[in-house]
Amino acid sequence: QWGDEGKGKLVDMLSQKSDIIVRFQGGNNAGHTIKVSGQQTILHLIPSGILNPKAVCLIGNGVVLDPWVFLNEVDQLAASGIDVDSKRLGISYKTHLILPYHKLLDQVRETKKSASKIGTTGRGIGPCYEDKVARVGLRAADLTDRDLVLAKITRALEEKNILFSNLYGQKPLDPNDVTEQVLAIAPRIIPYLTDVGARIDSAANQTILFEGAQGIHLDIDHGTYPFVTSSNTVASNAATGSGVGLGKIDQVLGIVKAYTTRVGAGAFPTELDDLDGEHLQKNGHEVGATTGRPRRCGWLDAVILKASVRLNSLTAIALTKVDVLQNLPIIKICTGYKYKGETLSYPPQFEGSLNDVTPIYEEWPGFTQDISQCLEYAKLPASVRKYIERLEDLLGVPVKYVSVGPDREQTIVR
């Protein structure tokens, strides 16, 4: 969908049966919440498998890594007794680094844009990917070469300082200052450098879990452009973003929220502006794990999900936050769109056209029982099972996991 589906929860749960967990795109724009026996951990960069002491967690080349945020996360985990030694945590040599000027550029651009704001997380994600594609980015391996760090930062700031001072009314940044800041933390990052692709390749007979961030409809190519993030969030990027071939991937699990949410701007056909929307927002505690912004809420959109199934070759679905639907008298699923007099079963392709669709809804009876402690599919209320089975029909993909609460244990496996 558009992020925050409960990926952190599912990855943590599945990591108990995985040997290696790899993040392959995005950066600390993500906020992944894990709850174990009531204790909550929010991760932005480190893979959500880190709480499983036996798993190795790797950050792939497709990620953009803010080294200060990474170290902060390492320190916080270490303080709560989690092993974050470089034997079980690694960063690809090729991972691009988010530097202070990326963050500043992200923030001043958004401030200036006002009406056309994307509502980015302000973490410097877009500007860092821009530098990667422009072939001027600083990669993690460069931290071992002081001269290269200075040369690259100097070059990047030649252009960026013109933007800062001429367009955005900011003070230019001094390349020597930025270089000093980077070199000061380099000794703590360097021990984590590793060849992620080779580590995965040498893990014969092991289970590798690739963890995506954001949502499919925030994908730079396939999402609701331009209201998207700056990376490919689709499953195929798991290969590119970690340095392995497609042959390494044999199952693709889509994490789907039982309704829809979105943070930031952009089209949202099933968005609700009524008491049902308020119910989802309040009951689902729908507040951004990264920026603290309230999330926009709406009904489940099977049109959007059909596109997700197709874009990812989903082999199964984990349906999350089903418990949040409790006490809604009627639950709706959008099964098609009316658009310019036609009925569509896939999203229209023109920029902004998703703003002009009218959702076609099916209505399903709600439920009043508390299902948050239910651990058996057969014990779920009949109306919940019908809703789930209708979704399977619409999407042609089995719902393998049903999540009924934030805790690792609150999961039904079918």
Q: Which residues are catalytic?
A: 4, 32
**Interaction between residue 263 and ligand GDP (CB under 6 A):** no
Partner interacting with residue 6 (select from ligand GDP, ligand IMO, Mg ion, none; CB below 5-8 Å by kind):
ligand GDP
Partner interacting with residue 160 (select from Mg ion, ligand IMO, ligand GDP, none; CB below 5-8 Å by kind):
none
Q: Pick from 6, 26, 27, 31 the residue near Mg ion by CB under 5 A.
A: 31
Assess whether the previous peptide bond of 127 is cis (omega < 30° from 0): no
User: Are the beta carbons of 294 and 325 closer than 8 angstroms?
Assistant: no
Euclidean distance between the first and the last CA atom of the chain, given in angstroms as a whole number: 22
Question: Which span sits near ligand IMO by CB under 6 A: 30-38, 46-54, 301-309, 402-410?
Answer: 30-38
Question: Which span sits near ligand GDP by CB under 6 A: 24-32, 59-67, 192-200, 241-249?
Answer: 24-32
If you search the block for the tokens 């992200």, which residue do you land on? 106
CB 291, min distance to ligand IMO, A: 7
Q: Pick from 33, 231, 237, 270 the residue near ligand GDP by CB under 6 A.
A: 33
Partner interacting with residue 119 (select from ligand IMO, Mg ion, ligand GDP, none; CB below 5-8 Å by kind):
ligand IMO
CA dist 58 and 291 (Å) reads 25
- Write the interaction track for ligand IMO spanning residues 126-145; mark x where CB under 6 A is met and - where it is not: x-------------------
Q: Pick from 10, 193, 218, 303 the residue near ligand IMO by CB under 6 A.
A: 218
Whichever of 199 and 296 has its CB closer to Mg ion, that residue is 296
DSSP state letters, 187-224: HHHGGGEE-HHHHHHT-TT--EEEE--S-GGG-TTTSS
Tokens found for residue 379: 């014990």
* Dihedral sign (CA 356, 361, 367, 373): negative
Contacts (Cβ under 8 Å, ≥6 apart) of 291:
31, 121, 122, 263
- Write the interaction track for ligand GDP spanning residues 265-304; mark x where CB under 6 A is met and - where it is not: --------------------x---x---------------
User: Are the beta carbons of 29 and 290 closer than 8 angstroms?
Assistant: yes
Whichever of 69 and 344 has its CB closer to ligand IMO, that residue is 69
Contacts (Cβ under 8 Å, ≥6 apart) of 285:
none
Instruction: State the number of binding residues for ligand IMO (CB under 6 A).
Output: 21
What H or E segment, with its residue span, contains residue 332?
strand 330-339
**Interaction between residue 406 and ligand GDP (CB under 6 A):** yes
Give the E-state strand segments of 2-48 in sequence order.
20-23, 32-36, 39-43
Interface residues with ligand IMO (CB under 6 A) are 3-4, 29-32, 118-121, 123, 125-126, 213-215, 218, 229-230, 263-264
